[in-house]
Amino acid sequence: MSEAATKPRSSDPRVATAIAHWAPRFVSNGVLLADFEEVTAGIERWEDWCRAWCERGEVHEALGREALEDGYKLTAGEHLSSFSCTIRSRCATRTCARSSATGWRFR
């Protein structure tokens, strides 16, 4: 975790505490570190926390809708598992078999 991600940037102690304590949890649960740093850098008051994250969520929703409109149907997880099958030929059979068993789709 970068120092910037956990360095408090707000004078509101609730925001500063949330940033310091929640950065690892957000990132380990799939939030991009860049998103965490950019969103929290703009939060001055605790009352702005939810609005800021909702706005970032709308950005990702728009990117997803655009990808669907452009014909992309794989999720990021599906894409990465197919990439794993292609690149790691030694374990490709085992990875693809596990992927097929869990219902992942490939192009």
Separation of first and last alpha carbons in the chain: 34
User: Quick check: 83 and 75 in contact, CB under 8 A?
Assistant: no
Contact between residue 56 and residue 37 where contact means Cβ atoms under 8 Å apart? no
pLDDT of res. 2: 59
Give the amino acid at 21. Answer: H
What does the pLDDT read at residue 100?
45
Q: Where are the domains of the chain?
A: 3-69, 74-107
**How much is the pLDDT for 33?**
95
Buried b or exposed e, range 50-84, using 16+ CB within 10 angstroms: eebbeebeeeeeeeeeeeeeeeeeeeeebeebbee
Chunked into runs of 10 residues, the chain (107 residues) has average pLDDT values of 58 93 92 94 95 93 89 75 52 47 43
pTM score, two decimals? 0.62
